[in-house]
Amino acid sequence: MKKIKIAPSFLSADFSKAGVEMEQITLNGADFVHLDVMDGSFVKNISFGPKFIKEIRPYSKAIFDVHLMIVNPWNYIKQFADAGADIITVHYEACGDKLAETLKAIKDLGVKCGVVINPDTPVEKIADVVELCDMILLMSVYPGFGGQKFIPDVLPKIEQARKLIEKSGKDIDLEIDGGITKENVKLVKDAGANVIVAGSTVFNEKDRAKIIKDLREI
């Protein structure tokens, strides 16, 4: 079993003190910081872009895990790479027949890459790009907002994705994103997820070191 990594979603942070939030969440034990980029077109919300990421980059040594919920992501990957992303994930639903070339383009920039699928997209759809990826990200809510309820139908998909990864023989992380709480984190780990995104669950808690530790150890 791969090491469990906790990835607080910065979407739930207080942006009026972004540097401090970033510094604290890192000191509190975040392995990754999950950065949700939304364009108001692929999803019905707008968050932040490369300038914001670049300016908070110096406040953390954690892995910057940039989740692009944008149309035509290939137009922006260089900007996010230059801003300090360590890994960039793009949606299968946003890429069409440009998925494989987009993943390769991210790697060519010296950044790790991954593909994301929405709750209603079957895992089989990404079977032929798994080997190109450093991480597979399964959405357990419809993307757009933090604080939504976990969709349990995604559990069998975690098992399927883990099997695909095992079949590839490659060292690929399996990330789960949306509605993760202390109550369901064990379910997603048992199904095979090893990178756990948690936005509201972490940032709504006063003792963030404790909640990160709990999510890691439960």
User: Between the CA of residue 92 and those of 27, 97, 119, 132, what are the distances in Å?
Assistant: 33, 9, 12, 13
From residue 26 to residue 65, what is the string marking binding to ligand DX5 with x (rule CB under 6 A)? --------x-x-----------------------------
**Which of ligand DX5, Zn ion, none does 194 bind, CB closer than 5 to 8 A by kind?**
none
- By CB under 6 A, is residue 192 in contact with ligand DX5? no
Least spacing, CB of residue 149 vs ligand DX5, in Å: 8
214 is catalytic: no
* Piece of 95-103, 121-129, 155-163, 191-199 that binds ligand DX5 (CB under 6 A): 191-199
- By CB under 6 A, is residue 73 in contact with ligand DX5? no
Residue 46, amino acid: I
Residue closer to Zn ion by CB (options 177, 192) is: 177
From residue 132 to residue 161, what is the string marking binding to ligand DX5 with x (rule CB under 6 A)? ---------x-xxxxxx-------------
Residue closer to Zn ion by CB (options 66, 167) is: 66
36 is catalytic: yes
* Cα 41 from chain centre: 19
Q: Which of 21, 36, 65, 134 contacts Zn ion by CB under 5 A? A: 36
Block residue for tokens 């095979």: 192
Query: Which is catalytic among the residues 31, 39, 65, 177?
Result: 177
Binding to Zn ion in span 157-216, by CB under 5 A: 177
- By CB under 5 A, is residue 134 in contact with Zn ion? no
* Piece of 50-58, 60-68, 80-88, 166-174 that binds Zn ion (CB under 5 A): 60-68
Helix axes 18-27, 208-217, angle to 10 degrees: 50
Residue 123, amino acid: V
Chain residues that interact with Zn ion, rule: CB under 5 A: 36, 67, 177
